[in-house]
Amino acid sequence: MPVSSTYERSERLKSAKIIGSLFRGGNSFAAYPLRVVWAPTQAGPSGRATMAVSVSKKRFKTAVARNRVKRLVREAYRLHKHLLYERLEARGEHISIMISYIGQEILPYSEVERGILKMLRKLEESQQQKQSNS
């Protein structure tokens, strides 16, 4: 099944229970300007991922700035999620991802996109590492 280039409601991570379990027992890494926490879950159809974005109120005081950053991150993810979905579908897995923006200021889209691509590469590496350890 081809991957849609939309960011659908079913791809949004909204469950407080899953978000809590991500921070308690998930795997994390940094891909500047992003910090990523992820874990395999049973929360959705295999070959898919659920994702949420958070931006610190301490760094970005206005809602306008926080929403701008979230839009940039979601757009970069939407355009490149097919790279992740192809690997998940091949393995029949589902993962949940929480992305926190750790940059000090609003970076241009190209920088955010570079961070998303680095995140997708690191996700692949850490999933392969986890499989080889199992």
Q: Report DSSP letters for 38-49, one per residue.
A: EEE-SSS-TTEE
Mean pLDDT of 7-15: 89
| Residue that has been written with the tokens 């099944």 in this structure | 1
Residue ranges of domains in the chain: 9-128
Q: Which pLDDT does position 2 carry in this prediction?
A: 59
Of 18, 22, 30, 27, nearest to 100 by C-alpha is 30
- Per-residue pLDDT for 1 more than 70? no
CATH architecture group of domain 9-128:
2-Layer Sandwich (3.30)
Q: pLDDT digits over 68-77, tens only?
A: 999 999 999 9
Buried b (16+ CB within 10 A) or exposed e, 88-106: beeeebbbbbbbbbebeeb
